[in-house]
Amino acid sequence: MADELLNASDLKEALENLPEWQLDEDKTGIQREFTFADFSQAFAFMTRVAMLAEKHDHHPEWQNSWDWVFIRLTTDDLGGVTEQDVDLALAIDELLD
Ligand SMILES: C[C@H](O)[C@H](O)[C@H]1CNC2=NC(N)=NC(=O)C2=N1
């Protein structure tokens, strides 16, 4: 469980390691879009992300439309971005390596 919200400089530093992710409009989450070859590839990815979320005990807000997946990560308990969001985003990016 993350104990604190990241400050602006922590956020900036974290996002340097997450070049495909953006801070959302109100700076309470980080988000990224993914496009796959087809629905089954997108859903396979979502299944793997779901397993990661359970392992991290930290869960995404997400949308899927056919080959497209949108993921937003925020720490609901604190209403903003914490290290847990960053850690999960890094783990999600590793799925694509
Ligand atoms: C008790 C349990 O650890 C919490 O409810 C976890 C579960 N998954 C979570 N996921 C997200 N995104 N934010 C949270 O605050 C959160 N809290």
pLDDT in tens, 3-47: 899 999 999 999 999 999 999 999 999 999 999 999 999 999 999
Question: What residue ranges define each of the domains in the chain, with the CATH number in brackets?
Answer: 13-74+82-95 (3.30.1360.20)
Q: What are phi and psi of 19, to 5 degrees?
A: -60, -25
Our answer on whether the CB atom of 58 is closer than 6 Å to any ligand 1 atom is: yes
Running DSSP on this structure, what letter comes out for residue 64?
E
Going from the Cα of 4 to the center of ligand 1, the distance in angstroms, rounded, reads 13
Ligand 1 pocket test, candidate residues 58, 86, 87, 88, most atoms within 8 A of CB: 58
Looking at residue 3, its pLDDT comes to: 81
Tokens of 96: 């694509």
pTM of structure = 0.96
pLDDT in tens, 44-90: 999 999 999 999 999 999 999 999 999 999 999 999 999 999 999 99
Calpha distance 26→43 (Å, rounded):
28
Tokens 């993914």, residue located: 34
Q: Which residues contact 33 (CB under 8 A, 6 or more apart)?
A: 68, 69, 70
Going from the Cα of 20 to the center of ligand 1, the distance in angstroms, rounded, reads 23
Q: What is the ipTM of this complex?
A: 0.94
Our answer on whether the CB atom of 75 is closer than 6 Å to any ligand 1 atom is: yes
Looking at residue 2, its pLDDT comes to: 61
Of the candidates 34, 95, 42, the residue with the CA atom closest to the CA atom of residue 70: 34
Choice between 91 and 2, residue whose per-residue pLDDT is larger: 91
Looking at residue 1, its pLDDT comes to: 57
Our answer on whether the CB atom of 59 is closer than 6 Å to any ligand 1 atom is: yes
